[in-house]
């Protein structure tokens, strides 16, 4: 009888006597249709995830899974004293069994719909199909347990043999010095334990030396004389223990802690390659400063992992139940890194979300300065790697350590750029789980001059990334920094302290939006429903041009060092309006001459979503745009970057009445996420734009961007409420207005007051028109 035809559960668990193996029906129950043993089939087609599900079905499979027709429960109760009726069994045909076996290999746990389909196809009752699958799972479980018992029995016999050898050795001790029999009582109990402790310490020393070999790039022997290593002020203890992070692993396994950067630490582990630094020093000539960087990076990674624990008391949930803020009292008792200058304000936030990117791709993006700045273009004004201490091990980023410089920005002239010099360290904790941590390199120099911090320093911050199904990742982001709030306009104090300026939620919101846009663009490229009429190369060129437009706009608003700006001061211009100028020479992406930039930020009692929809709508553009006052703008082309339609790149055309007038095109990009919204536009030459749409190089299209940045929140004392939309929005937001115009066609020309007044008038009139259109007092 084939294995699937076993009817009674006790046949599955009881052993089969040798005398009965000659029976054809029983021999078929042990071997399958091909003559192979069932255990062999399990090894070839076994899914490990089925074990847990079989345990869950254990009680279900024990209760009435036989394929027979018998008395119901009521009939049995009523007839306890009567002689029970003989059970009628149903034998499945070989074709039915073969079909059930094939389906079982694909899906051991069919649902109700699948069982109904099988019963219809095989002319069986649904109950028969259900009981067959229960019996089949029980049979496989029994065979697995039998196989495990054999392995455990062999291991038990091996342990007994080793135990016997150890007992013989203890009964006949041998002197280590002379090799003769040892005198009873010559080794005291305390000395025995000291020898065990000594062996343990030697093993730990060997592991620490192997770790030093990986990082320092030179051999440090544990058998040599004591080596004087540079003292560390980080307070890091070279531990080899393990801790877990709650909530990161669905399987319940925690992240391994300690200093294991690879697959274990041993003297034969591969050396971590040290890269020649920008100062010309060879990798094996490790300076004192580099060893300090290594200590600091390890301590920062340890702190980040502990702060990422789900049940950590270091975090307090906000009133909206979303983002968590740092408990400063608990952190002071927990951390040993750095001290805070008296005039600095601390901000610490933590947030978690799912993103459409796998861990390896995200880690590569974070460890590449250019790709990191491109991914977070509205947060990172510029980034560069100063020194590559380690590029990682085994062709991966595991153990990569580099010194970086970056400028972080909020899109407002009232919030200064944050220049940072920091370490970035990447470590793989287990398969599919990575951590990337940043820490300012002067964070632990107790005697440092406060001026060395500039206006900000970064405590251990970063993210822990865990692979999830469907090419997604679960990202836990932590941001912890201190800054001098005397350099920040009072309007933005609450925004920064809430974390909406540089906090974890802004990093994650930007990451989510960028990943979703990338996934959407890839899917739309492969879709046959693309109505833009552009080829793949044309679409890429337009998106690249729009990205350059966004970058130039952000550089003009935040006044980062990407461009060399000169600030202009005029008596009749408000101090909240920043006017700057720079020369544009030999730059094919800009018109030659003197470029003027004017920007300011105001608070409006208007929902940021309403303001965003108003500014991005080309039909309403004439209500605030001076250039559109006489020429209505029409949509010519739109490249969507998300499902909603708010994130897109548009090409607008002025509706020219006179045929002799030149047609003006306007390139516009808009996006919105939980951290804010952006609408940026720039007039472009029709001939150049036509070449770009055909896939030409967009680097030669000259443009000067202008636009708006919208941030949630309000001035101090203004409460922010979480709504169903993205971010905090209860009817108030910050609006940053930025314009870049050509002040003169000659780079050597001198600017007059009239040019500056033109920028001032353009900014102020635009704000007034927006207020008037939205009926804001």
Q: Say whether pLDDT at 111 is over 60.
A: yes
When the pLDDT of each residue in the chain is averaged and rounded to a whole number, the result is 75
Judge whether 301 and 235 are in contact, CB under 8 Å: no
Give the pLDDT of residue 672.
93
Q: Identify the residue with better confidence: 288 or 19.
A: 288
| DSSP secondary structure letter of residue 21 | T
Of 129-133, 189-193, 341-345, 737-741, where does mean pLDDT reach its minimum? 189-193
Confidence of residue 279 (pLDDT cuts 50, 70, 90): very low
Give the pLDDT of residue 121.
87
Of 233-242, 356-365, 485-494, 699-708, where does mean pLDDT reach its minimum? 233-242
Judge whether 642 and 669 are in contact, CB under 8 Å: no
Express as a percent the part of the chain with pLDDT over 90: 34
Give the pLDDT of residue 474.
96
* 274-301 mean pLDDT: 63
* 240-246 mean pLDDT: 34
Comparing 289-443+454-520 with 535-774, is the CATH topology the same? yes
Give the number of residues written for the chain. 777
The DSSP result for 626-649, as a single string, is STTSSS-EEEEEEEE-SSSSSSEE
Q: Give me the torsion for CA of 387, 393, 395, 400, rounded to 10°.
A: -30
Of 284-288, 518-522, 549-553, 766-770, where does mean pLDDT reach its minimum? 284-288
Q: Which two tokens stand for residue 581?
A: 């100028």
98 Cβ partners below 8 Å, 6+ apart?
A: 2, 33
Distance, CA of 397 to CA of 724 (rounded, Å): 38
Q: Say whether pLDDT at 44 is over 80.
A: no
Topology, domain 535-774: Alpha-D-Glucose-1,6-Bisphosphate; Chain A, domain 4 (3.30.530)
Give the pLDDT of residue 59.
38
Confidence of residue 227 (pLDDT cuts 50, 70, 90): very low
The DSSP H or E segment spanning 667 is strand 665-673
Give the pLDDT of residue 186.
53
77 Cβ partners below 8 Å, 6+ apart?
A: none
Instruction: Assign domain 289-443+454-520 to a CATH class.
Output: alpha beta
Half-sphere exposure at residue 538, Cβ-oriented, CA atoms within 13 angstroms = 15
Q: Identify the residue with better confidence: 661 or 54.
A: 661
Q: Give per-residue pLDDT as tens, 630-678.
A: 678 889 999 999 887 789 999 998 876 665 566 779 999 999 998 899 9
Distance, CA of 69 to CA of 110 (rounded, Å): 22
Give the pLDDT of residue 87.
55
Among the listed residues 97, 101, 133, 126, the one whose alpha carbon sits nearest the alpha carbon of residue 112: 126
- Looking at the DSSP bridge assignments, the partners of residue 457 are 482
Inter-CA distances, 146 with 6, 12, 51, 132, 341, Å: 18, 11, 14, 21, 67
Half-sphere exposure at residue 432, Cβ-oriented, CA atoms within 13 angstroms = 16
Judge whether 222 and 212 are in contact, CB under 8 Å: no
Domain locations along the chain: 99-144, 289-443+454-520, 535-774
Among the listed residues 683, 679, 663, 662, the one whose alpha carbon sits nearest the alpha carbon of residue 671: 679
Q: Give per-residue pLDDT as tens, 523-536.
A: 866 554 555 678 88
Q: Which two tokens stand for residue 704?
A: 């000067």
Distance, CA of 31 to CA of 25 (rounded, Å): 10
Q: Identify the residue with better confidence: 425 or 453.
A: 425
Distance, CA of 559 to CA of 555 (rounded, Å): 5
205 Cβ partners below 8 Å, 6+ apart?
A: 222
Distance, CA of 303 to CA of 437 (rounded, Å): 9
Judge whether 603 and 730 are in contact, CB under 8 Å: no
Q: Say whether pLDDT at 695 is over 70.
A: yes
Handedness of CA 99, 100, 101, 105 (dihedral sign): positive
383 Cβ partners below 8 Å, 6+ apart?
A: 369, 370, 372, 373, 404, 405, 406, 407
Judge whether 544 and 644 are in contact, CB under 8 Å: no
The DSSP result for 35-49, as a single string, is S-BHHHHHHHH--TT
23 Cβ partners below 8 Å, 6+ apart?
A: none
Give the pLDDT of residue 339.
60
183 Cβ partners below 8 Å, 6+ apart?
A: 175
402 Cβ partners below 8 Å, 6+ apart?
A: 367, 385, 386, 387, 388, 389, 390, 423, 424
The backbone torsions φ and ψ at residue 549, rounded to the nearest 5 degrees and listed phi first, read -65, -45
Q: Which two tokens stand for residue 171?
A: 């009964």
CATH of 99-144, one of 3.40.50.920, 1.10.10.1100, 2.40.50.180, 1.10.10.60: 1.10.10.60
Q: Give per-residue pLDDT as tens, 323-364.
A: 788 888 888 877 655 566 667 888 899 999 999 999 999 999
Inter-CA distances, 323 with 32, 130, 447, 538, 725, Å: 57, 47, 35, 40, 15
Q: Identify the residue with better confidence: 649 or 19.
A: 649
Of 566-580, 590-604, 637-651, where does mean pLDDT reach its minimum? 566-580
Q: Where are the alpha helices (DSSP H) in 83-237?
A: 94-106, 112-122, 126-171, 189-216
Among the listed residues 704, 659, 656, the one whose alpha carbon sits nearest the alpha carbon of residue 684: 704
| DSSP secondary structure letter of residue 636 | E
Q: Identify the residue with better confidence: 258 or 365.
A: 365
Q: Where are the alpha helices (DSSP H) in 498-567?
A: 504-526, 536-558
Confidence of residue 570 (pLDDT cuts 50, 70, 90): confident
Residue with tokens 């209860």: 730
Residue with tokens 């709508």: 617
Of 11-25, 326-340, 536-550, 582-596, where does mean pLDDT reach its minimum? 11-25
Q: Say whether pLDDT at 423 is over 90.
A: yes
* 580-584 mean pLDDT: 89
Of 51-55, 80-84, 473-477, where does mean pLDDT reach its minimum? 51-55
Of 132-136, 252-256, 475-479, where does mean pLDDT reach its minimum? 252-256
The three-point CA angle 89-93-97 to 5° equals 100
């Amino acid at each position: 009888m084939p294995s699937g035809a076993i009817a009674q559960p006790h046949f599955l668990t009881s052993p089969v006597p040798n005398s009965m193996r000659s029976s054809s029906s029983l021999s078929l129950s042990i071997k399958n249709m091909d003559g192979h043993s069932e255990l062999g089939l399990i090894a070839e087609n076994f899914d490990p995830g089925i074990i847990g599900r079989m345990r869950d079905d254990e009680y279900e499979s024990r209760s009435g899974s036989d394929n027979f027709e018998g008395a119901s429960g009521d009939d049995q109760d009523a007839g306890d004293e009567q002689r029970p009726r003989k059970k009628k069994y149903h034998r499945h045909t070989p074709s039915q069994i073969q079909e059930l076996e094939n389906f079982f290999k694909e899906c051991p746990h069919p649902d109700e719909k699948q069982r109904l389909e099988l019963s219809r196809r095989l002319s069986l009752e649904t109950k028969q199909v259900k009981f067959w699958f229960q019996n089949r799972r029980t049979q496989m479980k029994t065979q697995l347990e039998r196989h495990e018992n054999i392995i455990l029995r062999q291991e038990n016999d091996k342990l007994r043999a080793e135990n016997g050898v150890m007992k013989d050795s203890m009964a006949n001790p041998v002197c280590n010095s002379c090799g003769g029999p040892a005198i009873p009582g010559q080794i005291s109990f305390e000395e025995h334990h000291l020898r065990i402790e000594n062996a343990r310490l030697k093993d730990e020393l060997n592991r620490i030396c192997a770790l030093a070999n990986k990082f320092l790039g030179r051999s440090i022997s544990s058998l040599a004389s004591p080596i004087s290593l540079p003292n560390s002020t980080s307070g890091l203890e070279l531990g080899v223990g393990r801790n877990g992070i709650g909530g990161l692993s669905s399987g319940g396994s925690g992240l391994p802690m300690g200093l294991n950067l690879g697959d274990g630490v041993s003297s034969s582990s591969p050396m971590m390659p040290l890269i020649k630094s920008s100062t010309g020093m060879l990798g094996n000539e490790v300076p004192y400063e580099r060893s300090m960087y290594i200590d600091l990076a390890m301590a920062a990674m340890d702190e980040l992992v502990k702060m990422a624990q789900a049940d950590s008391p270091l975090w307090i949930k906000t009133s909206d139940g979303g983002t968590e803020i740092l408990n400063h009292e608990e952190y002071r008792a927990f951390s040993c890194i750095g001290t805070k200058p008296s005039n600095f304000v601390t901000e610490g936030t933590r947030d978690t979300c799912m993103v459409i990117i796998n861990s390896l791709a995200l880690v590569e993006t974070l460890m590449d300065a250019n790709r990191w700045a491109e991914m977070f273009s509205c947060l990172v004004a510029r980034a560069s790697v100063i020194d590559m201490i380690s590029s990682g091990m085994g062709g991966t980023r595991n153990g990569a350590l580099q010194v970086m410089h970056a400028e972080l920005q909020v899109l407002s002239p009232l919030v200064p750029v944050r220049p940072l010099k920091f370490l970035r360290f990447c470590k793989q904790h287990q398969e599919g789980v990575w951590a990337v941590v940043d820490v300012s390199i002067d964070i632990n120099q107790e005697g440092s001059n406060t001026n060395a911090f500039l206006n900000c320093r970064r405590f251990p911050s970063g993210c822990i990334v865990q692979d999830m199904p469907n090419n997604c990742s679960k990202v836990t982001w932590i941001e912890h920094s201190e800054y001098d709030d005397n350099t920040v306009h009072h309007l933005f104090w609450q925004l920064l302290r809430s974390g909406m300026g540089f906090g974890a939620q802004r990093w994650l919101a930007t990451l989510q939006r960028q990943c979703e846009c990338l996934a959407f663009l890839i899917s739309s490229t492969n879709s046959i429903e693309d109505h833009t009429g552009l080829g793949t190369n044309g679409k890429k060129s337009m998106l690249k041009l729009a990205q350059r437009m966004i970058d130039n706009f952000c550089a003009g608003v935040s006044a980062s060092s990407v461009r060399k700006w000169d600030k202009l001061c005029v008596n009749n211009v408000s101090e909240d309006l920043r006017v700057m100028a720079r020369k544009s020479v030999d730059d094919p992406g800009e018109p030659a001459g003197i470029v003027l930039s004017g920007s300011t930020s105001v608070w409006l009692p208007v929902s940021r979503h309403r303001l965003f929809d108003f500014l991005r709508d080309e039909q309403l553009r004439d209500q605030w745009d001076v250039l559109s006052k006489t020429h209505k703008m029409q949509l010519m082309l739109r490249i969507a970057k998300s499902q909603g339609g708010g994130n897109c790149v548009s090409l607008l055309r002025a509706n020219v009445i006179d045929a002799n007038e030149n047609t003006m095109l306007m390139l516009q990009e808009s996006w919105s996420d939980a951290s804010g919204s952006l609408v940026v536009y720039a007039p472009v030459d029709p001939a150049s734009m036509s070449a770009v749409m055909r896939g030409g190089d967009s680097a030669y299209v000259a443009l000067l961007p202008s636009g708006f940045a919208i941030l949630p929140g309000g001035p101090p004392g203004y409460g922010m409420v979480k709504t169903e939309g993205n971010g905090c929005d209860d009817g108030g937001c910050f609006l940053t207005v930025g314009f870049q115009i050509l002040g003169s066609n000659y780079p050597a020309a001198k600017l007059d007051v009239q040019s500056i007044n033109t920028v001032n008038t353009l900014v102020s009139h635009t704000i007034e028109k927006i207020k008037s259109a939205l009926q804001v007092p």
